[in-house]
């Protein structure tokens, strides 16, 4: 079965800086893949390539076997800073995609608002919502376009610990309910283990897939699991791998 997303020998350079070098990665339909790695190792660049915002310097990026040529709406992106449209209400934000095509779908919109838990705030503006609520809206907006893949670039990094935990569980629930494919970037190994079917560790600049681990912890995953031995063992393994890269390439933040 062709993988839904594939990167074959992808190299991406920005001027003299090489972000990714000969990276190979495959994402299966329906799987939740989490990318972890040191800062500056190209995780966001990879996501931008999958979304079609950038094109690889060499190698190819494929969606369902076909080359990704331009911005790919079938790979819906969720941003760290929400990127909500401040001048539109919550409902208008969510229905943005459908309305672009001239086919507003109020039923689907309200269903999505229910799904992410912001139905009561449909007429509010993003400025009136907390960070957690805004990310829910952003998620609903992306889902309204019915993308095949969800690309998440550290979506919960800007939230406090409690909200983060709640949203992790929400996301896990939604992804499972809707049977979506998801590529998720995070710095938090705990988050990775809570959400992922598979974890890919990227090496430091230039980025390559260093290691992939299958995460077979049982679902549904709860916060308490973080204290189990099985969880800790897997965490130790991933952590060691990431630390190696961190120590190899101590450096400042670079466009990743």
Chain residues binding other proteins by CB under 8 A are 51, 53, 71, 73, 75-77, 79, 81, 83, 85-87, 96-97, 100-101, 121, 124-130, 132-133, 141-142, 145
Q: Which is nearer to other proteins, 71 or 230 (CB)?
A: 71
Q: Which is nearer to other proteins, 22 or 73 (CB)?
A: 73
Q: Which is nearer to other proteins, 224 or 253 (CB)?
A: 253
CB 129 to other proteins: min, Å? 4
CA distance 11 to 110: 42
CB 127 to other proteins: min, Å? 5
Q: Which is nearer to other proteins, 118 or 175 (CB)?
A: 118
Please give the DSSP secondary-structure letter assigned to residue 89: -
Distances (CA, A) of 125 to 79, 89, 117: 18, 4, 15
CB 2 to other proteins: min, Å? 23
The 3-state secondary structure of 21-65 reads EEEEEEECCCCEEEEEECCCCCHHHHHHHHHCCCCCCEEEEEECC
Identify which of 2, 124, 11, 113 has the alpha carbon closest to the alpha carbon of residue 63. 2
CA distance 251 to 38: 10
CB 141 to other proteins: min, Å? 7
């Amino acid at each position: 079965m062709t993988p839904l997303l594939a990167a074959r020998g992808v190299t991406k350079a920005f001027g003299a800086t090489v972000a990714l070098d000969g990276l190979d990665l495959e994402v299966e339909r329906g799987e939740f893949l989490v990318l972890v790695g040191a800062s500056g190792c190209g995780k966001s660049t990879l996501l931008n390539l999958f979304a079609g915002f950038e094109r690889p310097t060499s190698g190819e990026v494929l969606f369902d076997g076909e080359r990704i040529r331009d911005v790919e709406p079938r790979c819906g992106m969720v941003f760290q800073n929400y990127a909500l449209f401040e001048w539109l209400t919550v409902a208008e934000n969510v229905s943005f995609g459908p309305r672009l095509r001239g086919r507003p779908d109020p039923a689907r919109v309200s269903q999505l608002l229910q799904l992410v838990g912001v139905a009561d705030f449909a007429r509010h503006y993003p400025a009136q919502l907390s960070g957690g609520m805004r990310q829910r809206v952003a998620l609903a907006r992306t889902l309204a376009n019915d993308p095949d893949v969800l690309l998440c670039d550290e979506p919960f990094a800007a939230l406090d610990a409690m909200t983060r935990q709640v949203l992790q569980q929400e996301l896990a629930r939604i992804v499972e309910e809707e049977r979506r494919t998801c590529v998720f970037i995070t710095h938090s190994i705990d988050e990775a283990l809570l959400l992922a079917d598979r974890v890919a560790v990227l090496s430091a600049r230039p980025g390559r897939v260093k290691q992939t681990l299958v995460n077979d912890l049982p679902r549904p995953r709860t916060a308490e699991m973080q204290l189990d031995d099985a969880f800790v063992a897997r965490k130790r393994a991933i952590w060691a791998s990431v630390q190696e890269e961190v120590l190899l390439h101590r450096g400042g933040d670079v466009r990743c």
